[in-house]
Amino acid sequence: MQAIRCILVVIDPKLSENLALKRARLISSVSQSRLHLLICDAKQDHSSYLERLRQELEDQGHVVTARQAWHENLHQTIISAQQAEGCGLVIKQHIADNPLKRALLTPDDWKLLRYCPCPVLMVKTEAPWTGGNILAAVDVGNADIEHRTLHSSIINYGYQIASLAEGTLHVISAHPSAMLSSADPAFQLKETIEARYRNACRQFQTEFDIPDGHLHIEEGPADALIPRVCHQLQAAVTVIGTVARTGLSGALMGNTAEVVLDTLESDVLVLKPEDIIDHLEELVAQR
């Protein structure tokens, strides 16, 4: 995060507290990033409100720019500003949609996670990061180069947040259930599956000094295990990544990050591999 030069902060004037801005101030104070405040609204004029926020932040020593804009819809407005300002991180407060609306329409925050060409931090809680646990979720069952690169990025971001917040990094990876019919004996017993997954974690454990007690290898679906371990640890932030599994057509992301977004009791940082980010940037440039 130290390399991020500009942070896009989505400001919602209707919210009583700017939780996204609170996180942005924390990160900017360490990275010295410029803060770009964005209000997405085509109707009301919020220039005086933005100017007040900008002045308060500058008085606190931050470098700040601010803008109100609207381009077709919320996620496209955010992405357009992210590209125009060269922002390396988008921070937005997440408000969960009701289940009925979510069943009928794809939530705006899901679209932002799918199509934004940079990491997105969804802020969900007022809980301070300082001294807290940071949970990094990886899928070590996939050992291709794309996943290994993404795992490294997830652990690296998790480590940086833990360092920033003087907290503790934990890592989780879900593994499948034992299958007696499997041709590979290693997948016939739960113990051998767990041992294989733990062995796959050794490299980043050594690189980032993660003790065995902070590595959680558990059986079951990731979208159920990640929220459970997050709750057990009372994690302040969960870092999760995604890889497109059926090519880059449409730049569709896997749905684990979307599914757990509402169930996690922590802030959520979502990362993508470089090739997906490159493709998303190409799509934005074609608009």
CA distance 78 to 92: 10
104 contacts 76 by C-beta, under 8 angstroms = no
Residues 105 and 182 in one domain: no
Angle at 231 between CA 226 and CA 232, to 5 degrees: 100
pLDDT score of 191: 74
Give the pLDDT band of residue 253 (cuts 50, 70, 90).
Answer: very low
CA distance 79 to 240: 20
Residues 71 and 156 in one domain: no
CA distance 129 to 64: 23
The boundaries of the domain holding residue 192 are: 133-286
Sequence-distant (6+) residues with CB within 8 A of 183 are: none
pLDDT score of 27: 94
135 contacts 238 by C-beta, under 8 angstroms = yes
CA distance 261 to 268: 7
The phi, psi pair for 179, rounded to 5°, reads -130, 110
How many independent structural domains does the chain possess?
2
pLDDT score of 49: 96
The CATH number assigned to the domain holding 279 equals: 3.40.50.12370
Paired strand residues for 237: 134, 267
95 contacts 14 by C-beta, under 8 angstroms = no
Burial of 274 (0-12, 13-18, 19+ CB in 10 A): exposed
CA dist 287 to 95, 106, 259, 266, Å? 28, 21, 28, 34
Q: For residue range 180-192, list pLDDT tens digits in order.
A: 444 455 555 667 8
Residues 255 and 148 in one domain: yes
Structure tokens at 79: 């992405």
Residues 274 and 185 in one domain: yes
Give the pLDDT band of residue 207 (cuts 50, 70, 90).
Answer: confident
Distance separating the N- and C-terminal Cα atoms of the chain: 29
Q: Is the pLDDT of residue 246 over 50?
A: no
Structure tokens at 162: 């833990």
Show which of 123, 154, 177 is a domain's final residue. Answer: 123
Alpha carbon 13 to chain centroid, angstroms: 23
CA dist 145 to 30, 35, 196, 223, 254, Å? 31, 34, 18, 23, 17
pLDDT score of 237: 97
Average pLDDT over residues 10-24: 94
Residues 78 and 103 in one domain: yes
Q: Which comes out higher in pLDDT, residue 246 or 149?
A: 149
pLDDT score of 22: 95
Q: Is the pTM of this model over 0.85?
A: yes
Residues 150 and 82 in one domain: no
Q: Beta strand 133-137 with 237-241: parallel, antiparallel or unpaired?
A: parallel
Residues 278 and 149 in one domain: yes
Residues 158 and 270 in one domain: yes
Q: Which of 115-119, 163-167, 181-185 has the lowest mean pLDDT?
A: 181-185
Residues 14 and 156 in one domain: no
